[in-house]
Amino acid sequence: MGFGLTSTGIGNLAGSASPLGDLAKNYMSNIFSLLIMFGAALSAFSCALGSATAGARILYSMSHDGIIPKKLSTVHPKYNSPYVAINIIMLGCVVFTVGLFKYSGSQVFGYLGTIAVLALLLAYLATNVGAILYFTKSEVWKGFHLVIPSLAVLVLGFTFYSNVYPIPTSPFNLFPYVVLVWILLGLIITFTKKFKEHNISIELGKDLEEISEEA
């Protein structure tokens, strides 16, 4: 609305790298626009810091559970923080930043945001399907209880479908495959761990049997 509903206004909105800053400059002042942009920068930094911290904690937990190398669960001797995992996350951020430096901030946000949204849609979809199966099997949900999660599955499925078909233009057409590879990687790591644990339990059972026979 701030740019106008005409074709010119819509074009200005599409071409603006910082819509809030431009609107503040047009309707308020340059100083107010700077304050808006400063607040947006602080918000973006806080979001990035929180995401990096959460990612490091996930790596720490996975390492602690033996899914990935134990080195990633090493904590700092003074601050007790998983500094190895944090450094891995920050290294990945630097690699992404250097690899995407030629693109504008709005383009990078659009690319990474699209990948994240597609992954979240599948996560929410799997959560709803899993909840329906689990609570139906345990007879907690019956009849009316299934209406809302079933509608959620339909809405999430349609939203995901509409984001991948018709096939979007490049590079957005590649993002669903990025999400698929990421999910497959997680499944491979998870089932590999379960397979190893199963083999360990079998070997441990054999050792216990041998000990009992010798006794």
Average pLDDT over residues 183-200: 75
pTM for the whole structure: 0.71
Can you give the pLDDT at residue 212?
Answer: 52
Extract the tokens encoding 114. 């699209």
Average pLDDT over residues 126-130: 92
| Tokens 């698929």 belong to residue | 180
In which band, very low, low, confident or very high, does the pLDDT at 202 lie, cut at 50, 70 and 90? low
User: Of 169, 186, 60, 58, nearest to 122 (Cα)?
Assistant: 186
Over the chain, what is the mean pLDDT?
Answer: 83
Q: pLDDT for 80-96, tens place per residue? A: 889 999 999 999 988 98
Can you give the pLDDT at residue 28?
Answer: 79
Return the DSSP state at 144. G
Angle CA 117–123–125, to nearest 5: 100
Q: pLDDT for 152-165, tens place per residue? A: 999 999 999 998 88
Does the structure show a pLDDT above 90 at 125? yes
Can you give the pLDDT at residue 186?
Answer: 83
Can you give the pLDDT at residue 129?
Answer: 93
Q: What percent of the chain has pLDDT over 90?
A: 25
In which band, very low, low, confident or very high, does the pLDDT at 4 lie, cut at 50, 70 and 90? low
